[in-house]
Amino acid sequence: MEKYDVVIIGAGVSGSAVARELSRYQAKICVVEKEEDVCCGTSKANSAIVHAGYDAEPGTLKAKLNVRGNEMMEKLSEELDFPFRRNGSLVLCLNKKDYEGLEKLYHKGIANGVKGLRILNREEVLKMESNVSENVYAALYAPTGGIVCPFLMNIAFAENAEVNGTEFRLDTEVIEIKKNDSSWIIKTNKGEMETECIVNAAGVYADVFHNMVSSHSIHITPRRGDYCLLDKSAGKHVSRTVFSLPGKFGKGVLVTPTVHGNLLVGPTAIDIENREGTNTTRAGLDEVIQKANLSVRNIPFRQVITSFAGLRAHEDGDDFVIGEAEGAEGFFDCAGIESPGLTSAPAIGEMVAELIRDKMKLKEKEDFVSRRKGILEPSTLSKEQRNALIKENPAYGSIVCRCEMITEGEILDAIHRPLGAKSLDGVKRRTRAGMGRCQAGFCSPKTMEILARELKKDKSEITKTGGSSKVILGIDKDVY
């Protein structure tokens, strides 16, 4: 049975952020993930927003870690080479009777330490964003709000942790956790492992594992959010993230540009029981469209290229659950990580790593690698640089995905870098091949061919997203 100092359950953005921060220390660390890749749960389907921090109740972990995570984002994006931009955000007040709610939001933000907050009048808002509703009465402006690529952020944390010695066990599902004297025994579908410390970063399943070991139970409700993603031709319809005033179920439907130039609209907030229920519904998407149109005029919904849904892990206490679980020494929760979880992830990683460092008296490494370089994008190079690159490696001159102009060289890098892609979606999350207007209609066969060749597999073994999601169900050899 393999023994570790720390085992982290879940390779989403929180688990990967914890892994990256813990990899600074002298410890044997393992991340266990039931899917075939990192960033396969909540972290892959969200609003991609870096929240300023005015929405959370002062004094909560959400408030504290949101603001801290926002402050960390710029340096981290530079160190780990993932896209991030401070585009600012607006919360719209559409009539005078709701102005008091806007003022309350402003005062929350001030109490939470959010910098630069201002309440704008109608003329100031329309001057800033000409496409917002003509009914706008006022808006809360937060210049520290931003946008990020959640896939590349999550992958960057994981790759950097792996480079610093963290082991990742993918396609490995945790079945049972039990205490054995001073250590924990984790039973998985691929055998057992022993560890002194566990980090429970299992998303919508975090309550399941917590309740296996603690007498103080928690309860997580999967909250589904439907989204529409529009083509890049619609990406400049707004330049800032536009919110409506928040309500009981969260921050409402937003309209925002993405770091890659698209326009994103959503989400809904629908409580469900199915922890894998990421299907969109007609009613959900209709709600997204109807509510978005109240905030922003003339959204070109005819340019929607895809829709998707993600799940938020809403804990009954309406706050993050972080720390050593009651009656379960050495078991640290990282649970209830819903919005602003993506923004807070760097601070969550920092907080949990410090708790475990102090608990286990871990010493820092002298050779920690703090920087990571992402996949080279030839489109960012000058003509001369690109020609030189293609001369050195012709794969960078072969376009595979025409919508996003992704080359074979980028796909090869995605496959062969730390924790490399093994599926179509793995390639898509790392390179955007298949994420454009045709939604992989053109590039999938070529991407499958490259994956099969590089992984030394038959094309019939290549999946969309791991498991049983095979694209080719069988080949009639008599025909071919």
How far, in Å, are 49, 126, 148 from residue 73 at the CA level?
Answer: 11, 29, 9
Give average pLDDT by consecutive 10-residue segment, the chain, 480 residues: 97 98 98 98 95 97 98 98 98 95 97 98 98 97 98 98 98 97 95 98 98 97 98 98 77 92 97 96 96 97 97 97 97 98 98 98 97 96 96 97 97 98 98 96 96 96 95 65
Rounded to 10°, the helix 444-455/408-416 angle is: 40
How many whole angstroms separate alpha carbon 359 and alpha carbon 378? 46
Measuring CA to CA, which residue among 101, 116, 107 is closest to residue 54?
107
Measuring CA to CA, which residue among 161, 120, 65 is closest to residue 370?
161
- Domains, in order of start, for the chain: 2-43+151-220+317-360 (3.50.50.60), 84-146+221-310 (3.30.9.10), 378-461 (1.10.10)
Please report the sign of the dihedral spanned by the C-alpha atoms of residue 430, residue 431, residue 437, residue 441: negative
Q: Is 219 a catalytic residue?
A: no
Asked whether the beta carbons of 420 and 364 are under 8 A apart, the reply is: no
Residue at token pair 């706050």? 319
- Taking only Cα atoms into account, the Rg of the chain, rounded to an integer number of angstroms, comes to 23
What pLDDT sits at residue 276? 95
| Residue burial 351-389, b: 16+ Cβ < 10 Å; e: rest | bbbebbbeebebeeeeeeeeebebbeebeeeeeeebeeb
Instruction: Enumerate residues 6+ apart whose C-beta is below 8 A from 355.
Output: 323, 324, 332
- Centre a 10 Å sphere on the Cβ of residue 282 and count the other Cβ atoms it contains: 8
Question: Is the pTM of the predicted complex or chain greater than 0.85?
Answer: yes
What pLDDT sits at residue 250? 55
How many whole angstroms separate alpha carbon 81 and alpha carbon 430? 12
How many whole angstroms separate alpha carbon 199 and alpha carbon 207? 13
What pLDDT sits at residue 479? 47
Residues 51, 210, 237, 314: which is the catalytic one? Answer: 51
